[in-house]
Structure 1
Amino acid sequence: MSSKENELREKWNAINYYSGGALKLSVNHPLEWYVRYASPEHKSVVIVSQKAIKKIESSKCIDASCNQRKDGKYAISFTLMDRKQEDVFIIMAGDIIEYSNVDTDDIALLKVLRRYNAWLKLLDHKCDAVLGSNTQKGLIGELLFLKEKIETGMLPSEALIGWDGPEGADQDFVYAECWYEIKSTGASSTEIFISSVEQLDRDDEGELVVYRIDKCAPDQPKSFTLYGLVHAIIDLISRLGENPDELVLKLGSAGYIDMKEYDKQHFSMSSKQIYSVNNTFPKIRRKEIPNEIINMEYRIDIPSIKSWEK
């Protein structure tokens, strides 16, 4: 646990639930940070700023607001509504403080909002701040594909616009010329899991891209971490003169927040196969199943689709 997280817990523990009041955090930061209780059941982090945040979203887990105080300053508060998410909320607060610790309060406030938006979906949909290894492998596959697209000449902004997977779209990547479904599986696996009929159910031809990814020891040649891969793509986007913020927001939607925890587990990518998903490819079509069946999962045997491999 970081020192910021420790201080957050200690300050909340020092406040009497019923007497109200707030305690200021001892952080060297252009903005003033406080903790308080919005009610005996609800912890809040409050920022006092000279400027307001005009648009700030709430969610089922966090009630966010910006209100002007009597002294003319603004109180920007984030209140945890779901106590089961307390540990993640505290990690989020410490992360936002660190991420937004820049020279000026204007830029700091902008970074607070960007980082908060990246955390929103994680808090709404996840029970833990760190993704499991299988989920990490799935995200690694999508990031490897995104990186390849940029390295082969596609503008980062265009590549990111087409990355729909984090937003819950049926296919992971959709571009004008083709759509792509990305799958990550182990080196010895003989099957691919299709989590919904819609993933491969399109009339136009697309591609199924399969990455063989496994956990490995840190000293294995060409091993990498999810954290390292993310930062390699951030550096790539920056070198090409574009802003990586859209990548950060997409990652937040996918449940990933940039933390050193993701620099511990190493992975290796042993191979990649691409299959043409055309009208002859073995897939289940929505029009072929009864309306009463609202969802269907199935597995494809990898050796049996060799003839569709590109």
Structure 2
Amino acid sequence: MTKTELSSLWKSVNSHGHNNVGRRIDPAHPLSFFVSYDEDENMQIMLISPYLPQMPLSSKQIKVRANERADHKYAICLSLTDNSLKEMFIALCWDLVDCSYNIPDDKTGVVRVINRFKKWQKLFEKERSNGMNANQVKGLIGELTVLKDICIPKYGAAASVEGWMGPLYSDRDFTLSDVWYEVKTVSLSKDTITISSLDQLDISDDGLLIICRIERASESENGAFTLNTLIEEIERIIATDQRILTVFSNRLTFCGYNKDEETSKEYYKSYELEKYTVNTSFPRLRRSELPNSITNGSFELSIPAIKNWRTD
């Protein structure tokens, strides 16, 4: 189901008074999702569940509640209270349904849905008027470059886009079947990188730290590109899979991407992708090696000092 098809389901529901009967989103889905309107005629997605999870609080944008029904199941309801965010709410609903297709049981599915909703809730609460700043754009360019040049050729479009977890507030940018990648985007002259949290590299499985070097460029410079043109290139690569295109679009939404922002139209040039193996000997801070009184922190790594871990 596309976001357009999902949106059309609300049009088939009468939003007025007692005639508001919900429409099931997908009868083949293992969970029972419905679109409907609440008592204030707000767009709503409802999940009928035999299990009551720990519910998040309502926000200014989305009202959250869970009501026990006569059959002792629970109606978990998420209602949009700010209609200016309608398109984002539809994207949220599509993602909640999509992320819970392959589940071992109802409880696991419901917990997954609530956890994914909490990530969306953070996005709804963000200040959206200022767009992405230059550092955020460069960081996104680095992740998309790794997606296009490393992940998709090796793992395919579907696994690569779904494995791009950075936008979902994951500790690492990519989690794939046999490896994880953390991407840092810096200028040509930069000789340090910042590890923004203790958890970013604190993992027992081996992975790769990838340093993407980019610089601002002029439009006429050979190889120059914008964030918009990079995204368009990836969209052409994955164009045959409508579902993955939608997942990709949602990930970009999480990043705060807006193609009309001036920062999305600025030109850059990519110079090199440096790969470093993060294994048991790689220099990093680990929580287990720190006093219990230290609960979080960040640190800088010298790029020249980790040259022995560089790999092809």
Please give the TM-score of this superposition, normalised by the length of structure 1.
0.65
Superimposed CA distance per residue, residues 83-122 of structure 1 (whole angstroms, 9 cap, x where no aligned partner):
xxxxxx86x67xx4xx9xxxxxxxxx9779659x998654
1:256 match: 257
What's the RMSD between the two structures over aligned residues? 3.6
Amino acid at match of 1:307: N
2:205 match: 204
Q: Is 2:143 aligned against 1:139?
A: no
Amino acid at match of 1:49: K
SS of the residue 1:214 aligns to: strand
Which stretch shifts more, 144-153 or 165-174?
144-153
Superimposed CA distance per residue, residues 54-111 of structure 1 (whole angstroms, 9 cap, x where no aligned partner):
453996241479xxxxxxxxxxx8544xxxxxxxx86x67xx4xx9xxxxxxxxx977
Q: Is 2:298 aligned against 1:297?
A: yes
Q: How far apart in 2 are the matches of 1:114 and 1:233?
A: 21
1:45 match: none
Q: How far apart in 1 are the matches of 2:236 and 2:121?
A: 24
Q: How far apart in 2 are the matches of 1:167 and 1:294?
A: 22
Q: How far apart in 1 are the matches of 2:11 and 2:254?
A: 27
Amino acid at match of 2:265: K
2:45 alignment partner, one of 35, 50, 56: 56
2:192 match: 191
2:177 match: 176
Q: 1:229–1:64: structure 2 CA closer, same or farther, 3 Å change rule?
A: farther
Q: Is the 8 A contact 2:152 2:160 kept in 1?
A: no
Q: Is the 8 A contact 1:206 1:278 kept in 2?
A: yes
Once the two structures are aligned, what percentage of the paired residues are identical? 30
Superimposed CA distance per residue, residues 236-263 of structure 1 (whole angstroms, 9 cap, x where no aligned partner):
1014676400001111122224435454
Q: 1:180–1:259: structure 2 CA closer, same or farther, 3 Å change rule?
A: same
Q: 1:280–1:236: structure 2 CA closer, same or farther, 3 Å change rule?
A: same
Q: How far apart in 1 are the matches of 2:289 and 2:214?
A: 33
Q: 1:306–1:147: structure 2 CA closer, same or farther, 3 Å change rule?
A: same
1:162 match: 163
Q: Is the 8 A contact 1:122 1:129 kept in 2?
A: no
Q: Is the 8 A contact 2:131 2:261 kept in 1?
A: no
Counting matched residue pairs gives 235
Q: Is the 8 A contact 2:134 2:263 kept in 1?
A: no
Unpaired runs of 5+ residues, structure 1, are 1-47, 66-76, 81-88, 100-108
Superimposed CA distance per residue, residues 203-240 of structure 1 (whole angstroms, 9 cap, x where no aligned partner):
22111000012222222211111111112111110146
Q: 1:225–1:64: structure 2 CA closer, same or farther, 3 Å change rule?
A: farther
Amino acid at match of 2:61: I
Amino acid at match of 1:142: E
Q: 1:227–1:113: structure 2 CA closer, same or farther, 3 Å change rule?
A: farther
Q: 1:300–1:289: structure 2 CA closer, same or farther, 3 Å change rule?
A: same
Q: What are the residue-to-residue correspondences of 1:4-23 with 2, within 5 Å? A: none
Q: How far apart in 1 are the matches of 2:138 and 2:58?
A: 28
Q: 1:258–1:245: structure 2 CA closer, same or farther, 3 Å change rule?
A: farther
2:105 match: none
Q: Is the 8 A contact 1:126 1:255 kept in 2?
A: no
Q: How far apart in 1 are the matches of 2:241 and 2:92?
A: 25
Q: How far apart in 1 are the matches of 2:158 and 2:11?
A: 32
Q: Is the 8 A contact 1:119 1:252 kept in 2?
A: no
Amino acid at match of 1:192: I
Q: What are the residue-to-residue correspondences of 1:118-133 with 2, within 5 Å? A: 121-133=122-134
Q: How far apart in 2 are the matches of 1:63 and 1:213?
A: 39
Superimposed CA distance per residue, residues 123-154 of structure 1 (whole angstroms, 9 cap, x where no aligned partner):
32345351001011111111111112454142
How far does residue 161 in structure 1 lie from its aligned partner after superposition?
A: 2.1
How far does residue 187 in structure 1 lie from its aligned partner after superposition?
A: 1.0
SS of the residue 2:213 aligns to: strand
SS of the residue 2:232 aligns to: helix
How far does residue 176 in structure 1 lie from its aligned partner after superposition?
A: 2.4
SS of the residue 1:279 aligns to: coil
SS of the residue 2:228 aligns to: helix
SS of the residue 1:152 aligns to: helix
Q: Is the 8 A contact 1:225 1:263 kept in 2?
A: yes
Q: How far apart in 2 are the matches of 1:114 and 1:150?
A: 25
Q: How far apart in 2 are the matches of 1:59 and 1:212?
A: 41
